[in-house]
Amino acid sequence: MKAKKDDESIVEGAVDEILPGMGRLVKKLKKTSPELERKIEETDREIKERLEKGYSPKPKIKYGYSMKTLVGEEKVEPKEKVKPKIEIVEPIVDIFDEKDRIKVIAELPGVSEDDIMVNLSGREIVIDAATEERRYHKIIELPCDVKDMKKRYKNGILELEAVKNGA
């Protein structure tokens, strides 16, 4: 950049450097418009402040936004993020009553095996699965009491195999 005159602002010098002769035009416009003069002075102060502080490799992140209108500046602060309420869905379930066991197959897409809880109590099986995006809940009444149950889960399909009491 060329040597700056004492009365020339940083903005005027930069404009004149990029487009020779435009610095004089900015200077004339600045004299006729107090608003433009204020904006140029404000920008000069900001540039000088940044030059004094130096460059920081870690950027400061500020959320929200500013909106400048012809009337003035309005700052809008962000609202707290509200987690959307997750709807509880009943999974599709098939029950197969076989000779000595009962098979229950439930479709639970989008959850992992760690997210699934299965509780067995007499004739009742409760399936509960939840992630941040979805939640499944189902209570299944079995035709008879069961004592032991095996659980397998693969590709969104939960398979429960319960041994009938007395079998």
pLDDT tens across 34-62, in order?
888 888 888 888 888 877 776 665 655 55
Task: Please provide the average confidence, as pLDDT, over all residues in the chain.
Answer: 79
Write down the pLDDT at residue 71: 60
Beta strands in the chain (DSSP E): 65-68, 73-76, 88-89, 93-97, 101-107, 116-121, 124-130, 135-141, 146-154, 157-164
3-state secondary structure of 57: coil
pLDDT tens profile 138-164: 999 988 888 888 999 999 999 999 888
- List all residues 6 or more positions away from 41 whose beta carbon is below 8 Å from its beta carbon: 9
- Mean pLDDT score, 5-12: 67
Nearest Cα residue to 109 out of 138, 141, 131, 94: 131
Residue 39 in tokens = 């904006």
Asked whether the predicted pLDDT for residue 96 surpasses 80, the reply is yes
Q: How far apart are CA 102 and CA 164, in angstroms?
A: 7
Asked whether the predicted pLDDT for residue 75 surpasses 70, the reply is no
Q: How far apart are CA 29 and CA 37, in angstroms?
A: 8
3-state secondary structure of 83: coil
CA distances from 6 to 27, 45, 101 (A): 13, 15, 94
Q: What residue ranges define each of the domains in the chain, with the CATH number in brackets?
A: 10-76 (no CATH), 88-164 (2.60.40.790)
3-state secondary structure of 145: coil
74 or 110, which is more confident? Answer: 110
23 or 78, which is more confident? Answer: 23
pTM greater than 0.75: no
Residue 162 in tokens = 């319960």
Residue 23 and residue 12 in contact, taking contact as beta carbons nearer than 8 Å: yes
